[in-house]
A and B are shown apart, each in its own frame.
Chain A
Amino acid sequence: MAVTESNVLEIKSSATWRQRIREARLPWIPIVVILLVLIFGIFSELIAPFDPEESNLKARVIPPFTNAEYILGTDILGKDIFSRLVFGARTLLQVTVPAMAIAVLVGTAIGLVAGYAGRWLDAVLMRITDATLGFPSILVAMLIVTLIGTGLWGVVFAVTATTWARFARMIRGEVLGTKERDFVLLARILGVSPTMIMLRHLFPNVINTLMVMISLTIGQVILLEASLSFLGLGMKPGEPAWGIMVAEGRAQLLTVWWLALLPGIMITIVVMACNFFGDWLRDYLDPKLRRSR
């Protein structure tokens, strides 16, 4: 008897689970693109048929889709472009993941403190935030790169320095709305420490907004990283980053035109996927954030 009941329950819950997915209208194409980038980045060695740094002078300047071995062709030194694109996904993850993590951490912390503390601390923190927001990100990034130098951490900090302020602003706004609610007041009356109130009571209430912000920001972070690499201020030349590949292709535009074309298409598709996914997540989690613009 008990067994059948639990069976019934299980069928029911699985049905609602499926139903929920159907109702959510998941954006399948962007999700597949993002998953592919993750898989390419994590399992690069398994997927790429060649070493991305290895040049093969016997197989130079092969156009894409003309050779079964080198599907997307080779560049002027005979490096396999498909392999370099696959490893480019790894470079993308290496920059984007730590940069976003630091920016989110710093932005959330500042937003929580500013929103909850209020008064002069809020005023000071928000002035700094506005100054950062009101300044073109490429300039901030260039300043950081002058100071730290190029390479992975230069890019990571450059990206972080330009993105944390968005999170801080957003989180502060959410906290201002939440901190007057009864459960927060009750916690204060009970003598819960401010740190605990922020972590236990305020933070869980901003997670939705945070997820939306993250997914809407990733696309711009990828573009900024690619621009820095293209300008020679990001990853070191020769590394398999998509922005650097476009820069290399620019020099060989008349002979190896596909070298500049392909990585650019990759960047565009990935950024588009991130933007579409972010739009969907915003509509799904937080309809009040929906803007007409």
Chain B
Amino acid sequence: MFLYILRRLGEGLVTLIALSFVVFGSIHLTGDPARFLIPVTEAHDEEVYLAQVKAMGLDRPFIIQYLDFLQGALRAEFGKSFIYSVPVKDLILDRLPATVHLALTGMIMAFSLGIPLGILAAVKRDSIFDKIGQAFAVFGLAAPQFWVAIMLIMITGAQMGWLPTHGRGDIEGWWPEWHQVPDMIHHLLLPAFVLAITVIAAVMRLTRSAMLEILDSDFVKFAQVKGISHRAVIWKHAARNALIPVLTFGGITLAGLLNGSVVVEVVFAWPGVGLLLLEGVRNRDFPMTEGAILLSGFFYIITSVIIDILYGYVDPRVRIR
């Protein structure tokens, strides 16, 4: 087990270093950051340019620059944003709570809807209910997220005025005041649901197939023969075992939701990291893009490493690959 954890951590570290190298290298290959920072009036002055290069340390060997960048990245220092003139770290930390709130709500929705619906679909196999569930899954995998979001805004928000369609209310930071909670949830409902649609569909299908497999297994049949009530067989014997693969899937999903929220944040004007990243990309704000992508990548890799280690505890077969 110890060796397994060590190996998995090592793999995560290698992936992270590779990612930082790719991000740093590709940004430096395609554009000279010094050129961007020189005022237009002095753009043709070679001396100003060379001074800028020296000031930014761009005349040093590539590998030294990279190690320097890595050192900064370890402390989450990515320099100042070109457009805001504020350290990128502060900008990201400021936006992080919104994204995390959204992703967590999305995940809670995905599991509280996906698991019961999946179990129901398996128990009442081939019923109308099962068919509707499958249709939902097919639709969820094919419909573009941004379009579903806009359609839902049109129906529930713009036409009926039921739900707020943009922003997260007047909440700032991680913890809302008590009286703000209802408003916060109200603002979260629509974006979190859109974010969760594909995951709901996936959790449902996964639960359904895991349940079907287990309902067909010998120990469940034995429990039925023993005369245990139908409900107890389903919930105590079958569902518990079926949930193991579903829960692992959940961890990976959280990481995906944290990153996949770019589109949803844009449609709902949700002030999170995804919106920040898009702003950075559109304005070619290199420090901000570097910072946001590396941070997201960091989250993603850390989460998947933790999930793999937890899974190793739950299911010993995983350790030997």
- Identify the A interface with B (CB < 8 A): 127-128, 130-131, 134-136, 138-139, 142-143, 145-148, 219, 223, 226-227, 230-233, 243, 246-247, 249-250, 253-254, 257, 260-261, 263-264, 267-269, 271-272, 275, 292-293
Task: Tell me the minimal C-beta distance from B171 to chain A in angstroms.
Answer: 25
B92 interfacial contact with A, CB 8 Å: no
Q: Quick one: which of A148, A231, A250 contacts B150, CB cutoff 8 A? A: A250
* CB < 8 Å A-B pair total: 126
B 140-182 contacts with A by CB, 8 A: 141-148, 150-151, 153-154, 158
Task: Tell me the minimal C-beta distance from A112 to chain B in angstroms.
Answer: 22
> Which residues of the partner chain A approach B31 to less than 8 Å between Cβ atoms?
147
CA distance A223 to B248 in the complex (A): 26
Pull 24 A–B residue pairs with CB atoms less than 8 Å apart, ordered by A.
A127-B18, A136-B300, A139-B293, A146-B289, A147-B30, A226-B146, A227-B263, A230-B144, A230-B263, A231-B262, A231-B278, A233-B278, A246-B144, A246-B146, A249-B150, A253-B150, A253-B154, A260-B151, A263-B147, A264-B148, A269-B142, A275-B141, A293-B205, A293-B206
4 tightest CB-CB pairs across the interface, nearest first?
A: A264-B147, A271-B142, A136-B259, A272-B142
Task: Tell me the minimal C-beta distance from A276 to chain B in angstroms.
Answer: 8
CB <8 Å contact, A261 and B158: no
CB <8 Å contact, B139 and A146: no
CA distance A135 to B298 in the complex (A): 10
Main secondary structure of the interface of A (DSSP, over half): helix
> Which residues of the partner chain A approach B296 to less than 8 Å between Cβ atoms?
136, 139
> Which residues of the partner chain B approach A142 to less than 8 Å between Cβ atoms?
262, 277-278, 281, 289, 293
B 246-296 contacts with A by CB, 8 A: 256, 259-260, 262-263, 266-267, 277-278, 280-282, 284, 286, 289, 293, 296
CB <8 Å contact, B150 and A136: no
Task: Tell me the minimal C-beta distance from B93 to chain A in angstroms.
Answer: 19
Task: Tell me the minimal C-beta distance from B242 to chain A in angstroms.
Answer: 12
CA distance A243 to B266 in the complex (A): 14
CA distance A206 to B289 in the complex (A): 39
Q: Quick one: which of B147, B262, B301 contacts A134, CB cutoff 8 A? A: B301
CA distance A128 to B30 in the complex (A): 21
Given A136-B259, A227-B146: A131 in contact with B151 (beta carbons within 8 A) = no
CB <8 Å contact, B151 and A261: yes
Q: Which residue of B lies closest to A226 (CB)?
A: B144
CB <8 Å contact, A233 and B281: yes
CB <8 Å contact, A275 and B262: no
CB <8 Å contact, A268 and B300: no
CB <8 Å contact, B146 and A230: yes
CA distance A127 to B15 in the complex (A): 8
CA distance A228 to B118 in the complex (A): 32
Q: Quick one: which of B26, B205, B213 contacts A147, CB cutoff 8 A? A: B26
Task: Tell me the minimal C-beta distance from A138 to chain B in angstroms.
Answer: 6
CB <8 Å contact, A135 and B263: no
Task: Tell me the minimal C-beta distance from A289 to chain B in angstroms.
Answer: 16
Q: Quick one: which of A257, A267, A268 contacts B139, CB cutoff 8 A? A: A268
- 17 other A-B residue contacts (CB within 8 Å) besides A139-B262, A223-B142, A257-B154: A127-B18, A143-B26, A145-B281, A146-B27, A146-B280, A146-B289, A147-B29, A147-B30, A233-B278, A250-B150, A253-B153, A263-B147, A264-B147, A268-B139, A269-B142, A271-B143, A292-B209
CB <8 Å contact, B293 and A143: yes
CA distance A217 to B108 in the complex (A): 29
* Residue from B14, B281, B282, B293 having most chain A Cβ neighbours under 10 A: B281
CA distance A253 to B150 in the complex (A): 9
CB <8 Å contact, B142 and A131: no
